[in-house]
Chains A and B, each alone.
Chain A
Amino acid sequence: DAGVTQSPTHLIKTRGQHVTLRCSPISGHKSVSWYQQVLGQGPQFIFQYYEKEERGRGNFPDRFSARQFPNYSSELNVNALLLGDSALYLCASSPDFGQFFGPGTRLTVL
């Protein structure tokens, strides 16, 4: 079975640009969560979606937005990129307890 997939794997942007990251959950999983992991730290929760509705939001500015599609895949959008947005962005899907993570998208903002 395919795990959680994310695209792209790596991305380089400049300050002020916007970025769209994509995630496909494990088949049958209806919940998708997004996390930001800065180098050397634990993941920080950004959003959770379940059945296309936002069910949780972390302490991130409005520059961060997300959505979930009818097939349960998801996009994370970040506008007006800052240097501090450089991080590994992780997507996780969930059937119930615990979450299964994708490999992440490494975003570098120059």
Chain B
Amino acid sequence: GNSVTQMEGPVTLSEEAFLTINCTYTATGYPSLFWYVQYPGEGLQLLLKATKADDKGSNKGFEATYRKETTSFHLEKGSVQVSDSAVYFCALSPHNAGNNRKLIWGLGTSLAVNP
């Protein structure tokens, strides 16, 4: 079946540190991959996405590359800020015919950035 595994948190970093949050997946075919962010007290926001192998999604300084050979979609940012403190979710959308676009989620990784 389809599943997403994220590194466990919480992750605590100092401002301007390098961030990596690991995400690996299991899926048949060619799923689409996503990173969502949930700031405290808010809903989920799409951070970035990649729809095929070797695609790189990027937004707000965050990047993730769709690696089919390692079934991974690790999230990276070169220099984190306090405002990046949030919970980050990796998700996949299975490759299905039709309009079934349900998302399968990792458990989330909490990031705290200290000044």
Q: Provided the pairs A41-B107, A42-B106 are in contact, do residues A90 and B44 lie with their beta carbons within 8 angstroms?
A: yes
Q: Indicate which residue in A43, A94, A98, A100 contacts B105 across the interface (CB closer than 8 Å).
A: A43
Q: Provided the pairs A43-B44, A90-B44, A104-B43 are in contact, do residues A99 and B107 lie with their beta carbons within 8 angstroms?
A: no
Contacts of A96 in B (CB 8 A): 101
Contact B43 A33 (CB under 8 A): no
Contacts of A44 in B (CB 8 A): 105
Q: Verify if B32 is at the interface (C-beta below 8 Å from A).
A: yes
Q: Provided the pairs A42-B89, A97-B32 are in contact, do residues A48 and B101 lie with their beta carbons within 8 angstroms?
A: yes
**Total count of chain B residues near the partner, CB < 8 A:** 23
A sample of 26 cross-chain residue pairs with beta-carbon separation below 8 angstroms, ordered by A number, consists of: A31-B99, A31-B101, A42-B89, A42-B108, A43-B89, A45-B103, A48-B102, A50-B99, A55-B100, A56-B100, A90-B44, A92-B44, A92-B103, A94-B101, A96-B101, A97-B32, A97-B51, A97-B101, A98-B32, A98-B49, A98-B93, A101-B46, A102-B43, A103-B42, A103-B43, A104-B43
